[in-house]
Amino acid sequence: MTVLQKEVLIDPKRARTWRETMFGNIKGLFVQAHKDSEGYIEVSNTLTREVREQMQRTLVPQAQRGFEAGNRRTPENPDPYRTCFEVDRDRILHKGAAFRRLAGKTQVFIFPEDHMRTRLTHALEVEQVARAISTALRLNVPLTEAIALGHDCGHGPFGHASEDALTPYTDFGFDHARFGADVILRDLNLTAETLDGIRSHSWSLPAPKTLEGEVVSWADRVAYVCHDFEDACRAGIVTTRMLPEIVKTRLGIEKGHQLNVLITDIIHTTSQVQKVGMSTDVAEALAEFRQFNYDCIYMRPAATVQNQVVIEMLRSLVEFFIDHPNLDVLVASTSPEPTRAGSTEARDRAVSYVAGMTDRFALRSALKYLDWPESKLPKGVDMGTL
């Protein structure tokens, strides 16, 4: 028997140990995870939601306070232990599929190599940056986290190219921020404050109504500018030597240092001017950094060609589903009446369906419904992986 054959066999001792810990370890009237646990905790009063709501008095006066079940489209009962914004954060993480699908959606590079970002890891890094800022400024951290985790749930497959692809099929242009808040996350019944922050996180849109939302707007830009450059360096597209001198001088060349400078500056500047913002010198360096990314990474010739391929494929999918609005994949089992092909309802249904796709699912759909030629697939796609 070869070593490889031995390795694939189930270890009977490990299997027995796993079965023995199935229920846990009974200790009289309760169960513990570890047999030898000696940990002891004295809890006279648990931190209920009401107690934690009172603890919000330590926040700055302008921070959002969460009370009861929060301001929701459909009223509901409050959670006994979590504040309303913590409920929002947890619903985005656990209840809807939109957040999980971000793992299969492009951040910058289609089908990224190991260690490169997806739209999901981007959201997690935005959440970390936003939490660091919000904590230091004594804002409502759970609200900040909920907005950050949900801010890109409306993104379509293959990054921002999907917005260009889907815009012709919407009345006011496809914007992932608004689509995420108003369509993708609608069924989670999130609070108005969380939805507002998600809907307004893009700088081109009206400002969020909360300071927590403004923090996420900054955190989004800080995170993607730094990590997109790092990924492009790993891919061999750019090097740190290519960075503008103002970036190297004011922010440095290493991602951890860049983040530290940017986050610290937002905290210091905001505490001084009493507006969520960044100092002029550091903001100038960030703007130059972002422009460099656009010129050398996002809009480089290979990326532009790739975007055109993606746009053509996604638009072809939308056109197909507009003409076939009653396919099982598009119609809920509760739909009372069939939808007329080419109608506004068919269009909206097709846009929502395509926008929710992961990269791989979009490619598989193109192959399945459109008999899409391999020669027109995005570069680097291995047919065997689809």
Given a contact cutoff of 8 angstroms between Cβ atoms, the answer to whether 120 and 103 are in contact is yes
Give yes or no for residue 253 having a pLDDT over 90: yes
Crossing angle of helices 211-234 and 280-293, in 10° steps, is: 50
**What percent of the chain is modeled with pLDDT above 90?**
75
> Where does the pLDDT of residue 97 fall: very low under 50, low under 70, confident under 90, or very high at 90 and above?
very high
Per-residue pLDDT at 312: 96
Give yes or no for residue 164 having a pLDDT over 90: yes
Cα angle, residue 255 at apex, residues 120 and 132 outer, rounded to 5°: 65
Per-residue pLDDT at 207: 95
- As a dihedral over the C-alpha atoms of residue 301, residue 307, residue 308, residue 310, rounded to 10 degrees, the angle is 150
CA Rg value for the chain: 24
Give yes or no for residue 49 having a pLDDT over 80: yes
Question: Exposure string (b/e) for 73-97, b if CB count within 10 Å is 16 or more?
Answer: eeeeebbeebbbbbbbbbbbeeebe
Give yes or no for residue 287 having a pLDDT over 80: yes
Give yes or no for residue 241 having a pLDDT over 70: yes
Alpha-helical (H) ranges within 151-210 are 161-166, 176-179, 192-199
Give yes or no for residue 382 having a pLDDT over 60: no
Can you read off the two tokens belonging to residue 260?
A: 């530290």
Alpha-helical (H) ranges within 274-300 are 280-293
Give yes or no for residue 215 having a pLDDT over 60: yes
Please state, in angstroms and rounded to a whole number, the distance separating the CA atoms of residues 312 and 165: 7
Give yes or no for residue 83 having a pLDDT over 60: yes
Kind and range of the H or E run holding 32: strand 30-32
Cα angle, residue 244 at apex, residues 239 and 249 outer, rounded to 5°: 100
**What percent of the chain is modeled with pLDDT above 70?**
94
Given a contact cutoff of 8 angstroms between Cβ atoms, the answer to whether 78 and 53 are in contact is no
Give yes or no for residue 184 having a pLDDT over 70: yes
- Residues with Cβ < 8 Å from 243, sequence gap 6 or more? 229, 253, 289, 292
Given a contact cutoff of 8 angstroms between Cβ atoms, the answer to whether 365 and 371 are in contact is no
Give yes or no for residue 347 having a pLDDT over 90: yes
Can you read off the two tokens belonging to residue 200?
A: 């307004």
Neighbour count for residue 155 (Cβ, 10 Å): 27
Query: 298-310 pLDDT, tens per residue?
Result: 999 988 989 999 9
281: amino acid identity, one letter? D
On the 0-12 / 13-18 / 19+ scale of CB atoms within 10 A, 133 is: buried
| Domains of the chain: residue spans and CATH | 84-301 (1.10.3210.10), 302-327+337-385 (no CATH)
Instruction: Look at 16-30, 64-78, 92-106 and tell me which has the smallest mean pLDDT.
Output: 16-30
Q: What pairs with residue 27 in β-bridges?
A: 30
Give yes or no for residue 383 having a pLDDT over 90: no
